[in-house]
C-alpha cells in the first residue's frame, strides 16, 4: 500500500511539473504574440530602412589625412629661413590627423575628438573653402583647402599663420 501511495504522489508531482511547464510556455507564447511585435508606427527607428549617406559636398575630401611634415617644411623654406632648431621643433609637433565623412570632420589632436559638421562655402577648381566649428577659437571658422593631386591637400589657417600639407592615409 505504501508503494501505491508513493507511486501516486510521484505521478501527481510529475503531472504538476508538466502542467506548470505547459502553463509557463503558454504564457510565454501569449506574451510574445501580444507584446513582441510593435505596430508599424511604433517600430524603432533602427528597424526602418536606413536612408542613404548624403552625397558628399566635396568627394575629394572623404577619407583620413595626416600631416606631411616634410612637404610642410619644404614649403616654409620657399618663403622664409628655417633654422635646424625650428625644423626640429616643427617635426616634434603632434601629428594632426583629419577625418572627413560626407557630413563631418574630426581633427586630432588639435581639437575635441568629436566629429563636427562642416560645409563647403565655395569651390574653385583645385580649391575649396570649408567652414566648421573650431575648438581653439570657440567659433565657426573658414579654412581654405588647396588640393595637390589626388592624395594631398594644403590647409591654411591664417589666424595661426599655418599652411600645412596633409597626405591621404586611407
Instruction: Please check the confidence at residue 27 and state whether its pLDDT lies above 50.
Output: no
* pLDDT-derived band at 155, boundaries 50, 70, 90: very high
**CATH (one of 2.40.128, 1.10.1660, 3.90.226, 1.10.4160) for 59-168:** 2.40.128
Helices (H), 36-162: 69-79, 84-92
Helices 84-92, 69-79: crossing angle, 10 deg rounding? 140
Note the pLDDT of residue 21: 40
**Is the pTM for the entire model greater than 0.85?**
no
Note the pLDDT of residue 109: 74
Rg of the chain over Cα atoms, rounded to whole angstroms, equals 32
Note the pLDDT of residue 24: 39
C-beta neighbour count of 142 within 10 angstroms: 15
Mean predicted confidence (pLDDT) in 127-143? 89
Mean predicted confidence (pLDDT) in 23-29? 39
Instruction: Find residue 26's DSSP bridge partners.
Output: none
Note the pLDDT of residue 135: 77
Mean predicted confidence (pLDDT) in 91-115? 84
Note the pLDDT of residue 43: 39
How does pLDDT run across 49-77, given as a tens digit for each residue?
Answer: 555 655 667 899 999 999 999 999 999 99
Residues 147 and 126 sit within 8 Å (Cβ to Cβ) = yes
Amino acid at each position: 500500500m505504501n508503494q501505491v501511495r508513493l507511486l501516486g504522489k510521484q505521478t501527481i508531482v510529475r503531472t504538476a511539473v508538466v502542467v506548470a511547464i505547459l502553463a509557463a510556455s503558454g504564457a510565454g507564447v501569449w506574451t510574445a504574440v501580444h507584446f513582441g511585435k510593435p505596430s508599424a508606427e511604433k517600430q524603432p527607428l533602427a528597424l526602418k530602412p536606413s536612408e542613404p549617406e548624403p552625397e558628399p559636398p566635396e568627394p575629394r575630401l572623404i577619407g583620413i589625412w595626416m600631416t606631411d611634415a616634410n612637404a610642410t617644411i619644404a614649403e616654409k623654406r620657399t618663403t622664409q629661413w628655417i633654422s635646424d632648431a625650428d625644423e626640429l621643433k616643427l617635426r616634434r609637433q603632434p601629428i594632426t590627423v583629419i577625418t572627413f565623412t560626407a557630413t563631418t570632420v574630426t581633427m586630432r589632436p588639435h581639437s575635441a575628438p568629436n566629429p563636427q559638421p562642416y560645409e563647403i562655402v565655395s569651390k574653385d577648381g583645385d580649391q575649396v573653402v570649408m567652414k566648421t566649428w573650431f575648438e581653439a577659437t570657440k567659433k565657426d571658422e573658414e579654412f581654405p583647402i588647396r588640393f595637390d593631386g589626388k592624395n594631398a591637400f594644403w590647409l591654411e589657417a591664417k589666424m595661426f599663420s599655418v599652411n600645412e600639407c596633409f597626405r591621404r592615409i586611407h
